[in-house]
A and B are shown apart, each in its own frame.
Chain A
């Protein structure tokens, strides 16, 4: 199944000292941006309006052309290939979805394959496969976009972007227009999907919480398109580079950082096994530290029993309030083996 869905995993995207200045403007929109998105990672671009996050994304498929520097996809420059060929091989998803209203869902998914000369049978088979992948019923194939809800439309948007199995995807606030419940659902599903297809994704969002959840890495931009910090969510929350980043990730970054790690990992890290009082509250190993803290505070206890995920009777260890505090207080982020980044959780 997985092989059929994706035979072209992600490739590295590299920005090399990229600068974009719009004609007639004194200050650049993107200023000397250098960053590398490893193959198969989701890189979230965050920042204020005017920070140039959407501009930076659009430089990759040359919807906007840069003045200086170079952008490489899988080692080759985006200016070295024909612009339409470049765009057809990059999945593109936008907030307003932009499905073609006059085409059925099947035809929408088949737009780029048709341009590339795929046979009708192959396009049909691919549409069936993709509807499955984005969890839409097959009877959607013959419907029109206006017959679908916002969430369903964006699923089709995803399917359309994945039609030719591109190694790289650009997503511009893809879930920004959805209601919170639908957004959460589709975020989770996209992360699950990404585990299978391992595309390299540039994901623009203004929502730091979404970036923390979705991004393997987060690039924080500031006014004038300057990169303020680039790192994992844990790095950004644990050691923000400056006041600006600290402010941007929020005063509650301690709590946010708790969300990145799971109870079972803290048991492993601490290795200790205090005897817990029989009436100590319990929490599953797969719960986040944030949930653990909440349970602890609600119960008034100072120690938690962590249980096996499938069997709440089996205690795998205990975690104390002090341990929870230490987990956030450490300034340097832990080595990657100990850290569970939101995207993998």
Chain B
């Protein structure tokens, strides 16, 4: 089951000349190229969504009581979301340099609008009678926010995470145009060399990653919002 280790340059190795798809190449490059790229892709996506989530939830908790802040943060997040991804990464390089940090900052920026908007909507969606009962029972304003509104916002927050995860996994392939990181790197190389096996393999890996991640988030959502599934 061992393969020859001659994998440099990336897109040669086994004799794949003229083939549309070449399994030998995939086998020869899995451990040296594809797997590390996949793992890096997973890490960067996870961190970007995590950072975006922390920033968005903190901002939303503040925004729900301060409409000036909601408008301001919303405008910023919308602006970040509308900048074309490639331009964004290129513009960031002079400031943050040619490193993974640049990709991370860019991707985090893209999650903000989705996560912030969904969190604010979720916080506002708590039934008024539940808030009224909580007030009357002697919960403080902060207790209402953290013990009632925030948990009730979870379904909406999780929906935001789903979109953010898939968006980030897909956008991250573009980042390789600027910084060598994630699945975008082999994809970009294959594109440059018109190497169909490399294009198909990395493309499929990115798609599979997005599907698996989405399925995982859906499972997580069921786990953290058990009351949504509970029906008579």
Q: Which residues of B contact A111 (CB under 8 A)?
A: 134, 137, 139
Least distance between B149 CB and chain A CB atoms (Å): 10
8 A Cβ contacts from B110-137 to A: 127, 129-137
Tell me the bound Cα distance from A329 to B225 in angstroms: 62
> B129–A115 contact, CB under 8 A?
no
Least distance between B130 CB and chain A CB atoms (Å): 5
Q: Which residues of A contact B134 (CB under 8 A)?
A: 98, 100, 111
- 28 sampled A-B residue pairs with Cβ under 8 A: A84-B138, A85-B138, A86-B138, A87-B135, A87-B136, A88-B138, A89-B138, A92-B136, A96-B127, A96-B129, A98-B130, A98-B132, A99-B130, A100-B133, A100-B148, A101-B227, A102-B152, A102-B154, A102-B227, A103-B227, A111-B134, A115-B139, A143-B230, A144-B230, A145-B227, A148-B232, A160-B137, A170-B136
A-B pairs with lowest CB-CB distance, top 5: A98-B133, A87-B138, A96-B129, A88-B138, A92-B136
Could you say which of B143, B154, B230 contacts A147, with CB atoms under 8 Å apart? B230
A328 within 8 A of B: no
- Complex interface bits, A71-108 against B, C-beta within 8 A gives 1, otherwise 0: 00000000000011111110010101111111100000
Q: Which residues of B contact A85 (CB under 8 A)?
A: 138
Least distance between A110 CB and chain B CB atoms (Å): 12
The answer to whether A63 and B127 touch (CB under 8 A), given A143-B230, A146-B227, is: no
The answer to whether A147 and B232 touch (CB under 8 A), given A101-B227, A102-B152, is: yes
> B140–A84 contact, CB under 8 A?
yes
Q: Which residues of A contact B139 (CB under 8 A)?
A: 84, 111, 115
Tell me the bound Cα distance from A170 to B148 in angstroms: 22
Tell me the bound Cα distance from A141 to B20 in angstroms: 61
Tell me the bound Cα distance from A97 to B136 in angstroms: 12
Least distance between A167 CB and chain B CB atoms (Å): 15
A residues adjacent to B (C-beta < 8 A): 61, 63, 83-89, 92, 94, 96-103, 111-112, 115, 143-148, 157, 160, 170
Chain B interface residue number, banded: 20 to 34
Q: Which residues of B contact A145 (CB under 8 A)?
A: 227
Q: Which residues of A contact B230 (CB under 8 A)?
A: 143-144, 146-147
B231 within 8 A of A: yes
Q: Which residues of A contact B148 (CB under 8 A)?
A: 100
> A94–B136 contact, CB under 8 A?
yes
The SS class assigned to the B binding surface is helix
The answer to whether A61 and B227 touch (CB under 8 A), given A97-B129, A101-B130, A101-B152, is: no
Least distance between A123 CB and chain B CB atoms (Å): 15
Could you say which of A98, A115, A143, A144 contacts B127, with CB atoms under 8 Å apart? A98
> A115–B152 contact, CB under 8 A?
no
Q: Which residues of B contact A88 (CB under 8 A)?
A: 137-138
Q: Which residues of B contact A98 (CB under 8 A)?
A: 127, 129-134
Known: A92-B133, A94-B136, A98-B132. 15 other contacts (CB 8 A): A87-B136, A87-B137, A94-B132, A96-B129, A98-B130, A99-B130, A100-B130, A100-B133, A102-B227, A103-B227, A115-B138, A115-B139, A144-B227, A147-B231, A160-B137
Q: Which residues of A contact B140 (CB under 8 A)?
A: 84
Least distance between B114 CB and chain A CB atoms (Å): 22
> A146–B231 contact, CB under 8 A?
yes
> A63–B138 contact, CB under 8 A?
no
Least distance between B20 CB and chain A CB atoms (Å): 52
> B136–A61 contact, CB under 8 A?
yes
Least distance between A126 CB and chain B CB atoms (Å): 15
> A102–B138 contact, CB under 8 A?
no
Tell me the bound Cα distance from A264 to B83 in angstroms: 85
B14 within 8 A of A: no
Least distance between A62 CB and chain B CB atoms (Å): 10
Q: Which residues of A contact B227 (CB under 8 A)?
A: 101-103, 144-146
Tell me the bound Cα distance from A148 to B139 in angstroms: 24
> A102–B151 contact, CB under 8 A?
yes
Tell me the bound Cα distance from A258 to B127 in angstroms: 43
Tell me the bound Cα distance from A143 to B229 in angstroms: 11
Tell me the bound Cα distance from A293 to B230 in angstroms: 51
Q: Which residues of B contact A87 (CB under 8 A)?
A: 135-138
Least distance between B193 CB and chain A CB atoms (Å): 53
Could you say which of A101, A112, A148 contacts B137, with CB atoms under 8 Å apart? A112
Q: Which residues of A contact B130 (CB under 8 A)?
A: 98-101
In this complex, the member of A61, A88, A143, A144 whose beta carbon has the largest number of chain B beta carbons within 10 angstroms is: A144
**Which chain A residue shows the least CB distance to B139?**
A115
8 A Cβ contacts from B196-232 to A: 225-227, 230-232
Q: Which residues of A contact B131 (CB under 8 A)?
A: 98
Tell me the bound Cα distance from A157 to B232 in angstroms: 19
